Structure 1
Amino acid sequence: MVMVEGRSPPNGGNFNVVDFGAVGDGVTDDSEVSGKIIAPDRENFGSGTKFWLTFTSVNGLILSGDGDVDGYGSSWWGSCNKESDCFGRPPVLTFNSCNNLQVSGVSITNAPRNHISITNCATVTISNIKIITPDTTPNTDGIDIAQSTRIQIQHSDIQTGDDCIAINTGCSYINVTGVNCGPGHGISIGSLGENQSEGTVEEVHVVGCTFTGTQNAARIKTWQGGSGYARKISFEDITLHESMNPIFIDQYYCEGRGPCKNQTSAVAISDISFIGFTGTSATEAAVQLDCSESVGCTGILLDRINITASPNKKTEIYSTCINAHGTSSDSNLPAVPCLLP
């Protein structure tokens, strides 16, 4: 068992895990995180270093324990005065081309940017983890997934300053179950199609999750001018506690670079289900289906929706639509009359 406690080595140096008990023989359990691992501050992180704890091309990795991995993000957050400043900050844990990966039990706090980044991985289970970072921190996604398949995220608590979970292009067969999200920006598909690129996401299923005080809850976001698809996606049995934008398809996303220009091509959105939403919305437009004027959304289903205004709100909530097609149950609250076959 590797057990490292204390701050990371100075000047961007490295620990040799062999010195802490790692064997690497494929038999010995040496993947437990115990105690607390703290990243170096920005000044001592190492010039040009883009990552902190990185695992590449490791098959069958099990990372577990009850320890805390602290990204010491407070030394980085103040430098992110504009969007371009944010991207030089390192994620805490990066898994690249890792298959049959398991992560469980650990806490990950104060990320400079993403807490967990998963890229080009297959068959991953993340369970019973905690992610905690102040809600004012910029671009601090909880779990960021790209170009990966067969990912399970289960029974975890995520509090962050950006998306609790971001599912990016090249992802398929992603299952999220029993996650408590908030504060944060919700669970997001995308963004997809930036700079006329192709984005593809399919078979994403979010079940039994709770959103508390989030900026969004269930969101799909794409850029105008892109191509590709987001399809076969479902959000089911969702609980809302004063969450803003509970149901939101946004095909006019442009990340503060507005006004967003309407273009003739767009990522095609189809076969999207929102089923069993209950709780309160902190915004009046509880259901927003803002689809591309040229491509539109098809196969949208809303059923068993019971979203009411937050107790301190005096106004009624409502739904909005742009070029969305599908079905909405008559009993849904708010009603979504703009959905037409």
Structure 2
Amino acid sequence: MEAWSDPKSPMWISFSNVVGLSIIGLGTINGGGSPFWEALHINKCDNLKINGITSIDSPRHHISINSCNGAAISQINLFAPEDSPNTDGIDLRDDCIAINTGSININITNINCGPGHGISVGSLGANGETATVSNVQVTHCTFNQTLNGARIKTWPGGQGYARNISFEDITLINSKNPIVIDQNYRDKGLLDGTEESAVAISSIKFIGFNGTTSSKNAIALNCSEITRCTDVIMDGIDISTSTGNGEKPTVECQYVDGTSSDLNLMQECFQNSTIA
């Protein structure tokens, strides 16, 4: 299959309204770099399965998945130059996987991510929009020299929810920001700080994170005073700085409610949450 010659084409390969779509095999999708946008676009395809494929030199998103119910993605390889912007692996220098609004019942396993921005839910709620994401499981993944690891990011002023999301059995290799919730995500200059709503974040699990970080601050839970993050569970977190001396990084939290156990860091996160 040859790439389209029209640089205005919004995507290269597109599937829409297919139930039980399976994309399986050992072949390679070569996106050809910057002339195109989404290499593989999938819209409203329930019970989607993607396994075993390789995508290289994506023009922007390697794989874009929207409004799909019941997607299973495993054993795929995604490659992009480290300095390429917005080449989201699934929607490295950017998110390996970006899970956007309308996503429900998503299972992601055995992904080796890096470099890039890790696996992200969002961003959600830009321009005051209502966004919904629920029932997402990310398991048995590795973040290798990523800027972020497991991240949830929502815009101030948005509405809706991100809930029932779990990141479990995660290996970290010199990941700068292994665990991030940012309810105040924004592009510089676009918001004035007077927003009166936020996307609600609840029922979030970070379980079994092991490895190293290149930062002194491994966990940043920056939630909104307007709509706090609730029911956040952290268990089995063992992260050391990559200096090699066994130093434990710090944790930052605000406006977050939850519980933690077996948290092998300098202090427990929820003891330092700001009380509204």
TM-score, normalising length: structure 2? 0.90
- List runs of 5+ in structure 2 lacking aligned partners: none
- List runs of 5+ in structure 1 lacking aligned partners: 9-38, 77-88, 145-159
Work out whether residues 326 and 339 of structure 1, in 8 Å CA contact, stay in contact via their aligned partners in 2. no
Q: Pick from 124, 133, 150: which aligns with 2:71? A: 124
Query: Are residues 1:298 and 2:230 paired?
Result: yes
Q: Pick from 89, 98, 102: which aligns with 1:166? A: 98
* Match of residue 119 from structure 2: 187
Q: Pick from 17, 25, 28: which aligns with 1:65? A: 25
Query: Are residues 1:53 and 2:17 paired?
Result: no
Q: Give the Cα–Cα distance (whole angstroms) in 1 for the partners of residues 168 and 89 of structure 2.
A: 21
- SS class of match (2:38): coil
Query: Are residues 1:281 and 2:213 paired?
Result: yes
Q: Give the Cα–Cα distance (whole angstroms) in 2 for the partners of residues 188 and 332 of structure 1.
A: 24
- SS class of match (1:217): strand
Q: Give the Cα–Cα distance (whole angstroms) in 2 for the partners of residues 184 and 142 of structure 1.
A: 9
Q: 171-180 or 115-124: which moved more?
A: 115-124
| Deviations, residues 314-341 of structure 1 (Å, cap 9, x unaligned) | 9752111111111222643142231489
| Deviations, residues 121-171 of structure 1 (Å, cap 9, x unaligned) | 334333322111112111011111xxxxxxxxxxxxxxx121111111111
| Deviations, residues 179-235 of structure 1 (Å, cap 9, x unaligned) | 111111011011111111111111111111110000100101010011111111111
- SS class of match (2:127): helix
Give 1:257 deviation, angstroms: 4.1
Give 1:313 deviation, angstroms: 8.3
Q: What letter corresponds to residue 40 of structure 2 in structure 1?
A: L
Q: Greater helix share, 1 or 2?
A: 1
* Match of residue 37 from structure 2: 90
Query: Are residues 1:269 and 2:197 paired?
Result: no
| Deviations, residues 233-287 of structure 1 (Å, cap 9, x unaligned) | 1111111000011111111111344676252211111111111111111111111
Q: Give the Cα–Cα distance (whole angstroms) in 2 for the partners of residues 237 and 101 of structure 1.
A: 23
Structure 2 vs 1, CA of residues 112 and 260 (structure 1 numbering), >3 Å: closer, same or farther?
A: farther
Q: Give the Cα–Cα distance (whole angstroms) in 2 for the partners of residues 271 and 340 of structure 1.
A: 19
- SS class of match (1:199): strand
Work out whether residues 224 and 251 of structure 1, in 8 Å CA contact, stay in contact via their aligned partners in 2. yes
Q: Give the Cα–Cα distance (whole angstroms) in 1 for the partners of residues 190 and 249 of structure 2.
A: 26
Give 1:100 deviation, angstroms: 3.8
Q: Give the Cα–Cα distance (whole angstroms) in 1 for the partners of residues 250 and 176 of structure 2.
A: 13
TM-score, normalising length: structure 1? 0.74
Q: What letter corresponds to residue 79 of structure 2 in structure 1?
A: I
RMSD: 2.3
Q: What letter corresponds to residue 67 of structure 2 in structure 1?
A: N
* Match of residue 81 from structure 2: 134
Percent of aligned pairs with the same amino acid: 48
Structure 2 vs 1, CA of residues 230 and 58 (structure 1 numbering), >3 Å: closer, same or farther?
A: closer
Work out whether residues 172 and 213 of structure 2, in 8 Å CA contact, stay in contact via their aligned partners in 1. yes
Query: Are residues 1:328 and 2:260 paired?
Result: yes
Superposed, 1:35-54 pairs within 5 Å as: 39-40=3-4, 45-46=5-6, 48-54=8-14
Work out whether residues 167 and 188 of structure 1, in 8 Å CA contact, stay in contact via their aligned partners in 2. yes
- SS class of match (1:195): helix
Give 1:310 deviation, angstroms: 1.0
Work out whether residues 227 and 267 of structure 1, in 8 Å CA contact, stay in contact via their aligned partners in 2. yes
* Match of residue 272 from structure 2: 338
Higher RCO, 1 or 2 (CA under 8 Å, sep at least 6)? Answer: 2
Work out whether residues 252 and 260 of structure 1, in 8 Å CA contact, stay in contact via their aligned partners in 2. no
Work out whether residues 47 and 70 of structure 2, in 8 Å CA contact, stay in contact via their aligned partners in 1. yes
Q: Give the Cα–Cα distance (whole angstroms) in 1 for the partners of residues 86 and 245 of structure 2.
A: 29
Q: Give the Cα–Cα distance (whole angstroms) in 2 for the partners of residues 330 and 127 of structure 1.
A: 29
Q: What letter corresponds to residue 64 of structure 1 in structure 2?
A: I
Query: Are residues 1:210 and 2:157 paired?
Result: no
* Match of residue 246 from structure 1: 178
Q: Give the Cα–Cα distance (whole angstroms) in 2 for the partners of residues 50 and 265 of structure 1.
A: 32
Superposed, 1:148-163 pairs within 5 Å as: 160-163=92-95
Work out whether residues 220 and 249 of structure 1, in 8 Å CA contact, stay in contact via their aligned partners in 2. yes
Q: Give the Cα–Cα distance (whole angstroms) in 1 for the partners of residues 74 and 272 of structure 2.
A: 39
Work out whether residues 328 and 339 of structure 1, in 8 Å CA contact, stay in contact via their aligned partners in 2. no
Superposed, 1:297-316 pairs within 5 Å as: 297-311=229-243
